[in-house]
Structure 1
Amino acid sequence: MPFVRIDASRADGARLDALGRAVHEALRETLGIPPDDRFQVLTGHGGGNSELRQDSYLGPDRDDGVVYIAITMRSGRTVAQKQALYRRIAELAHAHADTEPRNIFVTLTENGSADWSFGHGRAQYVDAPGR
């Protein structure tokens, strides 16, 4: 936990790896996520079969370097922690993947402990609530 999906325009393997590292580092720094708690789906778009679309809603003038980051995690973080996470993701995506902060679009979805299964058909957070 958390589960991260990154969809990036014009992204090869190296850029996707850099974006994944940026998000994981930001989660660790701002929310205290453990180092081995990495569950990510990284997808590059551009070409004939997949595209990302965006407009300029709420201000940022994004370009074709847009990156969509969807994070699902258990609830319980403060608004200030979430704001720090968004800032740090933008900073690290710029530093690691040369992605303009204006092109970073983040959405965060929260859920409960019973909403996770890490394998074996079990709800590990429910079965072992101290984790």
Structure 2
Amino acid sequence: MPFVRIDALGTDGERLDALGRAVHDALVETIGVPPDDRFQVLTGHDGVTSTLRYDDYLGVPRDAGIVYVAITMRAGRPPERKRALYRRIAELAEAYAGTEPRNVFVTVTENAPIDWSLGYGEAQYAAPDAAEPSPAP
């Protein structure tokens, strides 16, 4: 159950949709996310009222085609699966949205099952804990 945020500079709805599909397809292919498990926030920045900042850190030349992808997911994937995910996102972002791989900046934040509520105010992934106190009346 990844939660994905994508921010892109100087983009329109079509490109945002393509980037969202690229990330989702990569998650399905590389780490086994179910195809119907898509939760994304896609934001385009116009460079005037909202913008993105970037430099050429670690010798990667970035430009106005920058795309930030932030993925929050439960912990437990091995490093090789994450590397495959990063590669596949960059490949598909180029194929679907014309984004150069050098401009695809991805972060993954991991957490525990208790850190998710998918609706109804419940922690669906967390095992019930008999030691939890009952809510006050």
| Structure 1 length-normalised TM | 0.95
Residue equivalent to 1:76: 76
Residue 74 of structure 2 contacts residue 112 of structure 2 at CA under 8 Å; is this kept in 1?
Answer: yes
Residue equivalent to 2:2: 2
Residue equivalent to 2:115: 115
Paired residues for 1:1-131 under 5 Å: 1-127=1-127
Residue 2 of structure 1 contacts residue 71 of structure 1 at CA under 8 Å; is this kept in 2?
Answer: yes
Q: What SS class does the counterpart of residue 110 from structure 1 fall into?
A: strand
Residue 23 of structure 2 contacts residue 89 of structure 2 at CA under 8 Å; is this kept in 1?
Answer: yes
Tell me which amino acid in the other structure corresponds to 1:111. Answer: N
- CA RMSD of the aligned region, Å? 1.0
Aligned identity (percent) is: 70
Residue 46 of structure 1 contacts residue 52 of structure 1 at CA under 8 Å; is this kept in 2?
Answer: no
After the TM superposition, list the runs of 4 or more consecutive aligned residues in structure 1 that deviate by more than 6 angstroms. Answer: none
Tell me which amino acid in the other structure corresponds to 1:25. Answer: D
Structure 1, unpaired ranges of 5+: none
User: Distance between the aligned counterparts of 1:106 and 1:10, measured in 2?
Assistant: 18
Tell me which amino acid in the other structure corresponds to 2:88. Answer: R
Structure 2, unpaired ranges of 5+: 129-137
Q: Greater CA radius of gyration, 1 or 2?
A: 2
Q: Deviations over 1:34-72 (max 9, x none)?
A: 011000000001242100010011121001010000000
**How many positions carry a matched residue from both structures?**
128
| Structure 2 length-normalised TM | 0.91
